[in-house]
Amino acid sequence: MTIRVLTGITTTGTPHLGNYAGAIRPAVRASEQPGVDAFFFLADYHALIKCDDPARVARSRLEIAATWLAVGLDPERVTFYRQSDIPETTELCWFLTCVTAKGLMNRAHAYKAAVDQNEAKGVEPDDGVTMGLFSYPVLMAADILLFNAHKVPVGRDQVQHLEMARDIAQRFNHLYQGDFFVLPEVQVEEEVATLPGLDGRKMSKSYNNTIPLFEGGAKALRGAISRIVTDSRQPGEPKDAEASHLFTLYRAFAQPDEVAAFRRELETGLGWGDAKQILGDRLERDIAPMREKYNELMANPARIEDILQAGASKARKLASPLMARLRDAVGLRTLSAGPAAGKGAGKKAAKDARFVSFRDTDGSFRFRLLAADGEELLLSDSHADPKAAGALMRRLQQADVQLREQADGVEILLEGAVVARGPGQADKVRQALDSLRQE
């Protein structure tokens, strides 16, 4: 079974060494495993919640995209896209917003933290709280549910948002009586490498203690390493490797035999200056080839844009059909599809085969024939006019059609011309069409 895994990267900063070791490197390696269908996206809508500096957001989108590609993310193997290039994301976000209880959002950790801070300051509880901050768990749910991801790797601080996404999906499925969404499973990253920064605390932009990954080149990397805080032990004095930030950083990148050798040198009196030189050499060995690719990409943003647009097109081929089905479910059908059933008839409608019309990414109009369980049986050819697509749906319900079995599915012919194709069995397609004619 293929497992779909989805990861979002908020575009508000420049990746540093800690980001690479803790999140980027393991995510890229995981995407290369067999049976994994990986989705990576630049969460630039989420960035607007945290940052109101447009230049910073724009720069971060470029730097983060270049970083992921430079470290080995294969856009041919994974689906790599920008959140803002998928209009179905915001449409689904609104659908989900309309079924999400305000009380659920009241319990979100980020919102509660903001309220607590305001109360501590003696100001209004919602002072400075935007609707973006308040309801961003719904946007996060839309990111996940749009592609029916099975697993979402997150840190423990994000577990609540995954639980909310499950709650929202269940609410929608129940309200509209269908299995529209997979309930995503949280994948807690327990083994994430947390690198120490220059001062020994967790490497973080908030602490201003980061080591650059690519920005500033080898000089900036060496300069940061030279500022790592060490103890006062002189050359010749044994060092405690386990208590050394230098050793922790080295161990995150070196092979076991290299780690053992570095430990021995520290414990037999290696000077801190020489230790920093060894750490710099080891990091440069890994980072230099990636930095070269990063610089090439940064110098050619059009190439990155092409990759992201190709990824968006790939993503929308999945997103558009789902949104067509959801529009049908909530009653936002094209008029040619017939009147919407009342809510009392929802359960019966959910059990029947049905046509679902939609507008494709190229602007043309198509429809699908779905079985009672939601399985896609047929996909029509494209039509420039929605009326033509609607007329063809009616003909398929009224006329005897010819079904032609192929090695990879079935074709539907009218007057000798193929008008729709599907991956299903001919008998199942025929039964679905017969059920529609009997309505």
Among 101, 93, 169, which residue's Cα sits nearest to residue 136? Answer: 93
β-pairing, 36-43 vs 79-82, is parallel
Assign 370 a pLDDT band (cuts: 50, 70, 90): confident
pLDDT of residue 193: 65
Task: Reply yes or no on whether the pLDDT at 349 is more than 50.
Answer: no
Assign 189 a pLDDT band (cuts: 50, 70, 90): low
For residues 272-289, give the mean pLDDT. Answer: 96
Dihedral of the alpha carbons of 269, 270, 276, 282, in degrees to the nearest 10: -130
pLDDT of residue 347: 43
**Residues placed in the known binding site for ATP:** 10-12, 18-19, 155-157, 195, 202-206
Task: Reply yes or no on whether the pLDDT at 202 is more than 80.
Answer: yes
For residues 178-188, give the mean pLDDT. Answer: 89
Assign 341 a pLDDT band (cuts: 50, 70, 90): low
Assign 191 a pLDDT band (cuts: 50, 70, 90): low
Q: 254: buried, middle or exposed (CB in 10 Å: 19+, 13-18, 0-12)?
A: buried
Lowest mean per-residue pLDDT among 109-118, 183-192, 409-418: 183-192
pLDDT of residue 190: 56
**Residues placed in the known binding site:** 10-12, 18-19, 143, 155-157, 195, 202-206
pLDDT of residue 429: 84
Domains of the chain: 3-194+300-326 (3.40.50.620), 205-297 (1.10.240.10), 354-436 (2.30.29.80)
390-395: which pairs have CB atoms within 8 A and are 24 or more residues apart? 390/334, 390/336, 390/337, 390/357, 391/336, 392/367, 392/419, 393/336, 393/337, 393/355, 393/357, 393/367
Task: Reply yes or no on whether the pLDDT at 270 is more than 80.
Answer: yes
For residues 311-330, give the mean pLDDT. Answer: 95
The tens digit of pLDDT for each residue in 15-34 reads 999 999 988 998 999 899 99
Distance CA 22, CA 17 (A): 8
Token readout for 386 is 């929605």
pLDDT of residue 136: 93
The tens digit of pLDDT for each residue in 109-125 reads 999 999 999 999 999 99
Among 114, 136, 32, 19, which residue's Cα sits nearest to residue 77? Answer: 32
Task: Reply yes or no on whether the pLDDT at 182 is more than 60.
Answer: yes
> Percent of the chain having pLDDT more than 90?
68
The tens digit of pLDDT for each residue in 46-68 reads 999 989 999 999 999 999 999 99
* CA dist 208 → 13, 16, 152, 204 (Å): 12, 11, 29, 6
Distance CA 95, CA 93 (A): 6
pLDDT of residue 423: 82
Q: 318: buried, middle or exposed (CB in 10 Å: 19+, 13-18, 0-12)?
A: middle
pLDDT of residue 284: 96
* CA dist 139 → 2, 46, 84 (Å): 25, 8, 12
* Mean pLDDT, the chain, integer: 89
Assign 159 a pLDDT band (cuts: 50, 70, 90): confident
Task: Reply yes or no on whether the pLDDT at 338 is more than 80.
Answer: no
Helix axes 301-330, 87-97, angle to 10 degrees: 40
Buried b (16+ CB within 10 A) or exposed e, 147-157: bbbbbbbbeee
**Residues placed in the known binding site for L-tryptophan:** 143
Angle, vertex CA 73, rays to CA 69 and CA 77, nearest 5: 130
Highest averaged pLDDT of the listed ranges 169-183, 364-378, 384-398: 169-183
